[in-house]
């Protein structure tokens, strides 16, 4: 969902129904697990790999919560968004849904640490232990 939060929280998971009403956040959960689940839903509004000026981020967040500054701060603190000193934001975490890339189907994975984890695994394999392709 790119630059459009319409329908983002239209059908929230059961754990978040107490915090969402009519597609808008009514309160931020106190429990970290629920808060991260909610922030993951909000992070879906930002396309991975794309940079957003602060004004655009504010416009998107205003559509789902009145205190968009606090929501933006939560997204940065929980590492769903990253920012530069100049106020440019990009998506740094969260899940990515099912979509097609060429002929391959890409499933749910976390942006960021997934790449580091797979890179680390590959670098730990010695040439003798790597699978051979026949």
Interhelix angle 32-43/68-77, rounded to 10 degrees, is: 100
pLDDT, tens digit (0-9, with 9 covering 90-100), for 102-114:
333 344 444 444 4
**Residue 5, φ and ψ in degrees, nearest 5:** -95, 5
Residue 9: predicted pLDDT: 86
What confidence tier does 12 reach under pLDDT thresholds 50, 70, 90?
confident
pLDDT at 5: 63
Q: Give the structural domain span for 14.
A: 1-134
Among 125, 101, 114, 5, which Cα is nearest to 61's?
Answer: 5
If pLDDT is split at 50, 70 and 90, which confidence band does 95 have?
confident
Q: Count structural domains, the chain.
A: 1
């Amino acid at each position: 969902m790119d630059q459009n939060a319409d329908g983002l929280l239209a059908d929230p998971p059961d754990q978040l129904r107490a915090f969402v009403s009519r597609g808008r956040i009514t309160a931020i959960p106190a429990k970290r697990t629920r808060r991260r689940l909610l922030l993951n839903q909000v992070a879906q509004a930002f396309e991975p790999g794309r940079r957003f000026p602060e004004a655009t981020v504010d416009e998107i967040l205003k559509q789902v919560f009145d205190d968009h500054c606090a929501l933006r701060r939560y997204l940065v603190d929980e590492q769903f968004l990253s920012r530069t000193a100049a106020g440019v934001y990009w998506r740094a975490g969260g899940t990515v849904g099912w979509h097609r890339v060429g002929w391959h189907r890409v499933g749910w994975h976390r942006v960021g640490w997934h790449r580091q984890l797979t890179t680390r695994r590959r670098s730990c394999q010695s040439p003798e232990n790597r699978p051979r392709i026949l």
